[in-house]
Amino acid sequence: MKIIQNHQKPPFLSLTLLTATILSLLQLALSVDFLFNGFNDTALSLYGNATIQSRILTLTNDTTFSIGRALYPSKIPAKRHNSSYVLPFSTSFIFSMAPYKNTLPGHGLVFVFVPSTGIAGASSSQNLGFLNRTNDGKTDNHAFGVEFDVFKNEEFDDINDNHVGIDVNSLKSLVSRDAGYWPDESNGTDEKFFKKIKLNSGENYQVWIDYNDSLISVSMVKAGSKRPRFPLLSEKYNLSEVFFDEMYVGFTSSTGQLVQRHMILAWSFSNTNFSLSESLVTAGLPSFVLPKASFHKSKGFIIGVTLGGLFFIGFCALIVVLLIKRQRRRAKERAEMEDWELEYWPHRMTYQEIEEATKGFKEENVIGIGGNRKVYRGVLAGGAEIAVKRMSRENDGMREFLAEISSLGRLKHRNLVGLRGWCKREKGVFMLVYDYMENGSLDKRVYFECEESKMLGLEDRIRILKDVASGVLYLHEGWESKVLHRDIKASNVLLDKDMSGRLGDFGLARMHGHGQVASTTRVVGTVGYLAPEVVHNGRASAQTDVFGFGVLILEVMCGRRPIEEGKVPLVEWVWQLMAQGQLLDALDERLRAKGEFDKEQVEGVLYLGMLCANPDPSARPNMRQVVRVLMGKSGNEVHDAESEDMDAYLLDKTQNSEFWNGFSQSFGYGSHPTFEDIKQSISSSMSLSWSSTIVEGR
């Protein structure tokens, strides 16, 4: 008889094999690997200005204030289901930021994990198409990114304008540092070995971003070089509260007034194979570096020829200058004088006279402090009240001093602060003496922090705006040269004893002949009042002053500053209200609370402010047209030829869709007030016409 024995497997061994099989299947289900050496139209989901051209992902082009975003088409596993465990991942990509010739470049790109598709909740410019002003810093964003930023923004505590940072739910980076890498021969800490790279040079750079056991590491180097041994950034941070079980992954970037191309040439991603990046093709890639100009067009050659010519002219002029100096030497006072003092000496006042007026510059007479200057109140021997601005040579003090005495010192108009004279105590200290303005500056009487008893009413505000408009028109057309103020704002408008508005502070003013173009390309002024073209090319014009005056109208009527922390910029806010048909809501709420105001009058003035603050300089009126609107005569005197010309001008401007296109592109609205809206609200309520108004200096 044959005995057959039945050998059964122990139960625990079967359970172990089953568990291992399930874990393997789960690991396989959560595995994600993809590799793109170039892209086709179906490889990614594109949003905003993102396009794929010649197998290159181009996120932005030369369109201003735009966003480009590209995401892998489907969500990828980021955490184990119903677990706080974050899956490790490794990604690598090759990017290039390519500037345009003769154009200021900006702003940057971000590698992102986001919970949803599209670009809702993101803004352009310094927000990099990642988040926006209102949601930045909120934990419910569930957004992770590594930014490559070429614009230093104080709002986000950026370290410079060429840095890499790790962002979690905010553009204020957890950690950031200069873009670059540590050579392998370094120890990864000694700064003298660190190699900086310029992000927007047009070069191709390869980036590696790894996450494992809550450690985030970022490395980068020029494409074609091997991965650095030491990471650029290494930060311990658990992403379990940031990631959902599944997330979208990809890239986002933006432009503002500054523009450049942001391109991705290749990309790999894996949560299992950390060596997949080795399969990226790094050779034979196109270059986006701008070609260097020919020798004859190079700056060195031009500077050399220019300096040579100037040297020859200077040598020839030296003899003439020496002869002129010999004649002027006898005209100098016993106290040593600088050359510029000879031109402006008729307005010079003695130091003793000013010291006596201010009682020895006592601190109790200080009425203002700012930068390298103090302003004192004083009384001259004859009883006339004065304000004395005392400044030092540092921080462009000398330039501002000369700008004031060369412009305001020769200008006379009832709506400009009068400059009585100047004084030099020693080579490093200068003083400017003005008529004293008893009621201080305009900003102290329109903003919310001013006392109720000092707050200006609606009619007073409009009257002061008329005063300032007359003063600016005189600067542009009423004097022998055209004067550009370049810093029109409420704090530079002073109020005399009769509460008349006078424009002051000519420290940034520039003069040039009528019909000529200002030669300076230096960006100066106050943030919030700068016209877009000034930021772009630094060149000021009469139209940039008109833009500043438009912002002044809005801040005076609305009772708020152009830029305030946590609020939409003033011009954008007013445009949004106007596009929504709620323009009256922009009026200072304290004035609205009183309830006694002409609605059409208010709308008319706000419309005028928006006309002046149009982003397109060619669409703005000139100051003579602004003054005709604000200071026109009664409606019975409107029927002259010049009035008809003004009607035709505004009809052409306001009915042309391109007139409001700058606002629409910037703020996302398409509607605008019609010509009839503007003319009816201004003319009917304020008795304003397009008749000629003569504005002269007194």
Residue 515 lies in a domain: no
437-441 contacts: CB < 8 A, separation 24 or more?
A: 437/387, 437/494, 437/495, 437/496, 437/502, 437/504, 438/385, 438/495, 438/496, 438/497, 439/494, 439/495, 439/496, 439/497, 439/499, 440/494, 440/495, 441/490, 441/491, 441/492, 441/493, 441/494, 441/495
Average pLDDT of 92-116?
Answer: 95
Q: What is the per-residue pLDDT for 684? A: 42
Residue 348 pLDDT class (50, 70, 90 cuts): confident
Residue 688 pLDDT class (50, 70, 90 cuts): very low
Q: Give the whole-angstrom CA distance, residue 627 versus residue 426.
A: 43
- Please write the tens of the pLDDT for every residue from 266-309: 999 999 999 999 999 999 999 999 887 655 566 777 788 888 88
pTM of the model as a whole:
0.47
Token pair of 31 as six digits: 């595995």
Both 147 and 272 in one domain: the answer is yes
Both 62 and 162 in one domain: the answer is yes
- Please write the tens of the pLDDT for every residue from 193-232: 999 999 999 999 999 999 999 999 999 999 999 999 999 9
Residue 44 lies in a domain: yes
Both 554 and 617 in one domain: the answer is yes
Q: How many Cα neighbours within 13 Å face the side chain of 242?
A: 19
Both 642 and 499 in one domain: the answer is yes
Q: What is the per-residue pLDDT for 638? A: 37
**597 and 587 in contact (C-beta within 8 Å)?**
yes
Both 152 and 266 in one domain: the answer is yes
Q: Name residues whose C-beta falls within 8 Å of residue 332's C-beta, 6 or more positions apart in sequence.
A: 342
What is the share, in percent, of the chain residues with pLDDT greater than 70? 79
Is the pLDDT higher at 670 or at 622? 622
Residue 612 pLDDT greater than 80, yes or no: yes
Residue 10 pLDDT greater than 60, yes or no: no
For residue 598, the domain's CATH number is 1.10.510.10
- Please write the tens of the pLDDT for every residue from 136-168: 999 999 999 999 999 999 999 999 999 999 999
Token pair of 324 as six digits: 């002129």
Residue 458 pLDDT greater than 70, yes or no: yes
Q: What is the per-residue pLDDT for 334? A: 43
Among 416, 436, 456, which residue terminates a domain? 436
Residue 605 lies in a domain: yes
Range of the domain at 76: 28-279
Least confident interval from 15-24, 251-260, 506-515: 15-24
Both 430 and 446 in one domain: the answer is no
Residue 70 pLDDT greater than 90, yes or no: yes
Rounded to 10 degrees, the C-alpha dihedral 315/317/320/322 comes to -50
Residue 372 pLDDT class (50, 70, 90 cuts): low
Q: What is the per-residue pLDDT for 672? A: 38
Average pLDDT of 613-629?
Answer: 91
Residues marked as catalytic? 487
Residue 313 lies in a domain: no
Q: What is the per-residue pLDDT for 135? A: 94
Among 231, 257, 279, which residue terminates a domain? 279
DSSP tag of 572:
H
Q: Give the whole-angstrom CA distance, residue 616 versus residue 662.
A: 6
From 462, 490, 474, select the one nearest 415 (Cα to Cα). 474
Give the angle 46-47-53 at the CA atoms, nearest 5°: 45
For residue 45, the domain's CATH number is 2.60.120.200
Residue 288 lies in a domain: no
Among the ranges 1-15, 191-205, 439-453, 680-694, which has the highest mean pLDDT value?
Answer: 191-205
Both 534 and 457 in one domain: the answer is yes
For residue 408, the domain's CATH number is 3.30.200.20
Both 351 and 262 in one domain: the answer is no
Both 389 and 501 in one domain: the answer is no
Beta-bridge partners for 110: 147, 252
From 220, 252, 217, 251, select the one nearest 237 (Cα to Cα). 217
Residue 8 lies in a domain: no
Average pLDDT of 584-607?
Answer: 89
Q: Give the whole-angstrom CA distance, residue 631 versus residue 546.
A: 16
Q: What is the per-residue pLDDT for 577? A: 93
Residue 327 pLDDT greater than 60, yes or no: yes
Among 401, 419, 436, which residue terminates a domain? 436
Give the angle 372-377-382 at the CA atoms, nearest 5°: 135
Residue 572 lies in a domain: yes
Least confident interval from 147-156, 298-307, 529-538, 618-627: 298-307
Helix (H) or strand (E) holding 355: helix 351-357
- How many domains does the chain divide into? 3
Residue 644 pLDDT class (50, 70, 90 cuts): very low
Q: What is the per-residue pLDDT for 410? A: 74
Q: Name residues whose C-beta falls within 8 Å of residue 272's C-beta, 6 or more positions apart in sequence.
A: 27, 31, 32, 33
- Please write the tens of the pLDDT for every residue from 474-500: 999 988 888 898 899 999 999 999 999
**77 and 28 in contact (C-beta within 8 Å)?**
no
Both 409 and 550 in one domain: the answer is no
Residue 648 pLDDT greater than 60, yes or no: no
Residue 652 pLDDT greater than 70, yes or no: no
Q: What is the per-residue pLDDT for 316? A: 85
Both 458 and 402 in one domain: the answer is no
Please give the full DSSP string across 579-633, using - where no structure is assigned. HTT-GGGGS-HHHHHH--S-HHHHHHHHHHHHHHT-SSGGGSPPHHHHHHHHT--
Tell me the one-letter amino acid at 256: G
Mean predicted lDDT score pLDDT of the chain? 82
Residue 673 pLDDT class (50, 70, 90 cuts): very low
Residue 518 lies in a domain: no
Residue 324 pLDDT class (50, 70, 90 cuts): confident
Residue 16 pLDDT greater than 90, yes or no: no
Q: What is the per-residue pLDDT for 683? A: 44
Both 412 and 553 in one domain: the answer is no
